[in-house]
């Protein structure tokens, strides 16, 4: 574990401080040796039980790559991602993923969507419906059990996806910009829902996002990533009191945290913007 970069203890005190998830010197390049692009560059941090950690960075900082590595979707990478000392090399039962894209099954009703992981495990129908109903209620979709995804709004579909992942009882909830496609108000309200659920279940969560307010609203700690190659720039503690609601966005402390992280992020984001503009110009010259 030598090089694990452990930040100062988070403001919330947790009795079990032994990390559930350790990201240790993780490294990933894409492409051939000569034209290799480093997506994730020796990233280290960890997540403790019950903690909500956000990874934030500009587009092109390798956050999605990191999401895929932790979710076991990318088998080959350098360094270690460990859960209980076990190195991740494929989808791990302790990790529940929520994807950025709309990912409900359109041919299944809400309850059958949510019960899907239990169905795979061969849980009897009545029991899996009971458990599915519990989580459908938790994400605030009671009464919609029999509806199909095509009858739901974008925000409701993402809540179905979240319930579907929660029903599999993951020790780590891993989410990749689950609200990216939603409008700001829906996002704030869903943030409330997430905070509620996280506090109710003491759900350890790792959220990948590019949204500053979302990260500060939800997190205990924020890992700020640099633009390509993606390194850890800083790990910030968010000591806003819990239980939290979206009202927190009006507070001075919230503003200070946002400003503080934006300070680090601005440089990276503008670097990303300049580079993509250069690429666009070069493309235009080439015709």
Residues 34-93 that bind another protein (CB under 8 A): 71-73, 91, 93
Phi, psi for 247 (deg, rounded to 5): -60, -25
Closer Cβ to another protein, 117 or 272, answer by number? 117
The whole-angstrom separation of Cα 177 and Cα 214 is 10
101 belongs to the binding site for another protein (CB under 8 A): yes
- Tell me the window of 2-10, 116-124, 255-263, 265-273 that interacts with another protein (CB under 8 A): 116-124
The beta strands (E) that lie in 130-197 are given as 172-176
142 belongs to the binding site for another protein (CB under 8 A): no
Cis peptide before 274 (omega within 30 of 0): no
Q: Quick one: which of 4, 7, 49, 102 contacts another protein (CB under 8 A)?
A: 102
The beta strands (E) that lie in 4-114 are given as 21-30, 37-47, 52-56, 78-83, 86-87, 95-98
Give the DSSP H or E segment for 223.
strand 221-225
Closest approach, Cβ 269 to another protein, in A, equals: 26
Spacing of C-alpha 59 from chain mean position: 15
Q: Quick one: which of 11, 75, 86, 107 contacts another protein (CB under 8 A)?
A: 107
Closest approach, Cβ 20 to another protein, in A, equals: 18
- Tell me the window of 58-66, 97-105, 179-187, 256-264 that interacts with another protein (CB under 8 A): 97-105
- Tell me the window of 9-17, 100-108, 197-205, 217-225 that interacts with another protein (CB under 8 A): 100-108
140 belongs to the binding site for another protein (CB under 8 A): no
> What is the CB neighbour count within 10 angstroms for residue 280?
10
For residue 193, give the nearest of 154, 223, 169, 163 by alpha carbon.
163
Phi, psi for 72 (deg, rounded to 5): 80, 15
Q: Quick one: which of 55, 97, 216, 258 contacts another protein (CB under 8 A)?
A: 97
103 belongs to the binding site for another protein (CB under 8 A): yes
- The DSSP output letter for 144 is -
Beta strand pairing call for 204-209 and 221-225: unpaired
155 belongs to the binding site for another protein (CB under 8 A): no
Interface residue list for another protein (CB under 8 A): 71-73, 91, 93, 95-97, 99, 101-103, 105, 107-108, 116-117, 119-120, 150, 168
């Amino acid at each position: 574990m030598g090089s694990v970069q452990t930040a100062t203890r988070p403001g919330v005190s947790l009795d079990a401080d032994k990390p559930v998830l350790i990201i240790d010197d993780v490294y990933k390049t894409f492409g051939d040796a000569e034209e290799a692009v480093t997506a994730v560059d020796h990233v280290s941090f960890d997540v403790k039980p019950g903690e909500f950690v956000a990874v934030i960075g500009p587009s092109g900082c390798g956050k999605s790559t990191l999401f895929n590595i932790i979710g076991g979707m990318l088998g080959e990478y350098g360094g270690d991602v460990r859960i209980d000392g076990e190195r991740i090399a494929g989808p791990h039962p302790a990790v529940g993923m929520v994807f950025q894209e709309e990912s409900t099954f359109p041919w299944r009703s809400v309850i059958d969507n949510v019960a899907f992981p239990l169905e795979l495990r061969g849980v009897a129908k009545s029991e899996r419906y009971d458990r599915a109903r519990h989580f459908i209620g938790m994400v605030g979709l009671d009464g919609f059990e029999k509806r199909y995804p095509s009858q739901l709004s974008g925000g409701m579909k993402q809540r179905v996806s979240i319930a579907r992942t929660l029903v599999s009882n993951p020790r780590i909830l891993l989410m990749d910009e689950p609200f990216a496609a939603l409008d700001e108000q829906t996002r704030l309200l869903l943030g409330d829902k997430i905070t509620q659920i996280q506090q109710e279940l003491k759900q350890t969560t790792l959220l990948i996002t590019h949204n500053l307010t979302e990260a500060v609203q939800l997190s205990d700690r924020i890992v700020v990533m640099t633009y390509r190659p993606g390194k850890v720039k800083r790990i910030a503690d968010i000591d806003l009191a819990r239980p939290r609601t979206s009202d927190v966005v009006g507070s001075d402390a919230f503003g200070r945290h946002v400003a503080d992280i934006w300070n680090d992020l601005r440089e990276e984001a503008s670097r990303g913007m300049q580079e993509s503009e250069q690429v666009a110009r070069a493309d235009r010259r080439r015709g």
